[in-house]
Amino acid sequence: MAAVVGVLALQGSYNEHMAALRRIGAKGVEVRKPEQLLAVDSLIIPGGESTTMAKLANYDNLFPALREFVGTGKPVWGTCAGLIFLANKAVGQKTGGQELVGGLDCTVHRNFFGSQLQSFETELSVPMLAEKEGGSNTCRGVFIRAPAILEVGQDVEVLADCPVPAGRPSITITSGEGVEDQVYSKDRVIVAVRQGNILATAFHPELTSDSRWHQLFLDMDKESQAKALAALSLSASSNNAEVGSKNKAPDLPIFE
């Protein structure tokens, strides 16, 4: 049975993700209510205006269901604003901040690359994408008022980075009480990562004709289903062995 990919359809580029899924023959469904998450095998959280998306998600009480979905181990992909949603920590937010789904062990800066006027496109080196899906070692990255990942945990695989734009104002990373704040001083910044069942990109693959990111996500879904089937098979074998041992005739005593 073909996997069903949910696309969170509150605001932003969900139509473009749906179109990209259709191009590769995948079934996508729009998700707006918590109960709809029960009918999908994986989930894409699209780009958009993250604060607006958070308000709409709160209105429909989606955050508990989204966190539960991420915790199940089913594949989840966040693009741009979706990356912000999935991060465990976000800086550079508006006053009062916004609620996050979490699950991705990283610190993200909400508007690292600046305002809408600083939006840009560039070629990104992504050898893993070519290794798994074929084609070129590079892909087109469309950055629209984009975030970036400042720090990642040890279990997070970095898939792509890009140069920090010249003249970028300094960014301070708040480390917490009793720990000195740090100024981000690197000349490159992370824009794509994977951690287990979570994929995240600061750019918009759905706005290009390159379908390899969506295919990669479908492959993650297949991996997830294969693991689930293996776990069920192991559980069934264990149960059968237990039943067999209970039904085994008792050994007769040996007299010498």
pTM: 0.86
Residues 97, 58: Cα–Cα separation, whole Å: 14
Q: Which residue has the higher pLDDT, 206 or 246?
A: 206
Per-residue pLDDT at 146: 94
What Cα–Cα distance (Å) separates residue 69 from each residue in 75, 158, 190? 9, 23, 25
Per-residue pLDDT at 96: 66
Catalytic residue annotation? 80, 204, 206
Q: Which residue has the higher pLDDT, 65 or 3?
A: 65
Residue-wise pLDDT tens digits, 82-126:
999 999 999 887 766 789 999 999 999 998 998 888 899 999 999
Residues 190, 83: Cα–Cα separation, whole Å: 12
pLDDT average, residue stretch 153-168: 92
Residue 190 belongs to domain spanning: 4-175+185-229
Per-residue pLDDT at 256: 45
Residues 90, 150: Cα–Cα separation, whole Å: 10
What is the CATH number for 121? 3.40.50.880
Q: Is residue 210 part of a domain?
A: yes
Q: Is residue 31 part of a domain?
A: yes
Give how far the C-alpha of residue 122 lies from the chain's centroid of Cα atoms, to the nearest Å: 22
What Cα–Cα distance (Å) separates residue 136 from each residue in 48, 76, 126, 130? 28, 25, 9, 6
Q: Is residue 238 part of a domain?
A: no
Q: Is residue 115 part of a domain?
A: yes
Q: Which residues are annotated as a binding site for L-glutamine?
A: 48-50, 110, 144-145
Q: Is 150 in contact with 193 (CB distance < 8 Å)?
A: no
Specify the number of domains making up the chain: 1
Q: Is residue 106 part of a domain?
A: yes
Q: Which residues are annotated as a binding site?
A: 48-50, 110, 144-145
Q: Is residue 251 part of a domain?
A: no
Check whether 242 has a pLDDT greater than 70: no
Kindly report the backbone phi and psi dihedral angles of residue 86, in degrees, each rounded to the nearest multiple of 5, phi listed first.
Answer: -85, -15
**Range with the poorest average pLDDT among 10-19, 22-31, 116-125, 225-234:** 225-234
Q: Is residue 220 part of a domain?
A: yes
Check whether 170 has a pLDDT greater than 90: no
Residue-wise pLDDT tens digits, 127-136:
999 999 999 9
Residue-wise pLDDT tens digits, 206-221:
999 999 999 999 999 8
Segment of 47-51, 122-126, 224-228 carrying the highest mean pLDDT = 122-126
Q: What is the largest CA-CA distance in the chain?
A: 94
Per-residue pLDDT at 211: 96
Check whether 254 has a pLDDT greater than 70: no
Per-residue pLDDT at 168: 73
Kindly report the backbone phi and psi dihedral angles of residue 205, in degrees, each rounded to the nearest multiple of 5, phi listed first.
Answer: -60, -25
Q: Which residue has the higher pLDDT, 219 or 183?
A: 219
Residues 210, 212: Cα–Cα separation, whole Å: 6
The two tokens of residue 127 are: 């050898």
Q: Is residue 250 part of a domain?
A: no
